[in-house]
Amino acid sequence: MSDALTFDSTIPQTAAPAVEFISLSHLNPSTELNPVPSRGIDLPFFRRYVRALEDAGYDYTLLPYGAGSADSFVVASAVGQLTERIRPIVALRPNTTFPTVGAQKLATLDQLTEGRAVVHLISGGNDAEQARQGDYLPKGRRYARTSEYVDILRRSWTEPAAFSHDGEFYKFDNFGPGFAPYDGPIPISIGGQSDEAFAIGGEKGDIFSFWGEPLADLRSEIDRVHAIARAAGRTTLPRIWVTFRPIIARTDELAWQKAQQYVAKLAETWQKPGPAQLYRQGAPQNVGSQRALAFAERSELYDRALWTRTAAVTNAAGASTALVGSPETVAAAILDYVDHGASLVSIRGYDTLADAVDYGKHVLPLVRQELAHRRETGQRGTLQAEHLGNYDPAYARFATAGQR
């Protein structure tokens, strides 16, 4: 094994943390590489996709939310019934659902899935998208609303008697006791890179979500959110969720060939008229996208495998930074982020279903193998991947690895 796949000895060799994997559920075969106009759900595809995630060994799947997308609560309920183990993460914008109703819906999902529900609160980073559903609150105030929303969610799940609330954004009388979750409060995830996002995430989030950034920059951001949590008197710190869009092939060289093909197709897609136009006009409002574009301007490649060109060509609309390389290289890069504090790792591809299957076959096992080695020995290892000599991309659609 080459030195490129060993681990930084300057990081303390502690017991391997618990690491779980997240994907994102797709409702039809349309991708950023091959967009297919649709406003509907391809039910056979959706069933196949969700079952593929379960078979691949993912722990969670995110059900995204947009003004023109399917309802994340309903889709999460379907995921819960189509799987036995995967935990559905409901993306929820506070402006769309009154908090006591949101608490009721989430608790119902949690009961139906026997304790698997998670919620990811999206305060809203784009004024135009928020306005599509009648939300004209300024961005900074949207985070203040989210903070109040979190308090009401938790109280709705735990208060043993009826209670009233008269806050800045919500008011009600004699609610409750609310419908209870399956077994205690549901985990709440917070994301964002603004000062307001850090404040609420550090003080109140069970999970804090980041997009893929250079290791040193992400480490300082993790330290920041944890310092806020400690200052708030918390003894349990928020778990760290980090998201990547890996591009893998049999070898690093072939993966980079594939990455260049992907970015050319992404550039074509983002030049066409459609929903993406909302996010490609001018500088993005959200700090996460601004940071991603700044990293892309500074360099296309960071650390072991972080590639920012995919963010540059999409105006950093959503999680878009890639990890590029062989399965071994990408697994080692993920472990670098684990070493820096991540315990929830979201990996979702640009070729959605095929990539999800490939990651389950060739990336997740390598990460788990190394973490198991650390638990057993107390030492870091090197990635052993003899079985990958026969690497065969799922739904093999490449004449040779990395070529369409």
Rounded distance between C-alpha atoms, residue 250 and residue 269, angstroms: 26
Q: Minimal CA–CA distance to 394: which of 49, 34, 33, 20?
A: 49
Mean pLDDT along residues 54-64: 97
Mean pLDDT along residues 170-175: 97
pLDDT over 80 at 399, yes or no: no
Beta bridge partners of 22: 60, 346
Whole-number pLDDT of residue 235: 93
Mean pLDDT along residues 352-369: 96
**To 10 degrees, what angle do helices 99-112 and 72-82 make?**
10
Whole-number pLDDT of residue 13: 45
Main-chain dihedrals φ then ψ at residue 54, nearest 5 degrees: -65, -45
pLDDT over 70 at 398, yes or no: no
Write down the pTM of the prediction. 0.89
pLDDT-wise least confident of 125-139, 224-238, 268-282: 268-282
Of residues 104 and 398, more confidently modeled: 104
Of residues 268 and 391, more confidently modeled: 268
Of residues 135 and 266, more confidently modeled: 266
Q: Provide the percentage of residues in the chain whose pLDDT is more than 70.
A: 88
Q: Minimal CA–CA distance to 179: which of 89, 108, 97, 117?
A: 108
Position 131 confidence tier, pLDDT thresholds 50, 70, 90: confident
Rounded distance between C-alpha atoms, residue 108 and residue 125, angstroms: 28
Domains of the chain as residue ranges with CATH = 3-246+323-390 (3.20.20.30)
Beta bridge partners of 118: 89
Contact 333, 384 (CB under 8 A): no
**To 10 degrees, what angle do helices 99-112 and 139-158 make?**
50
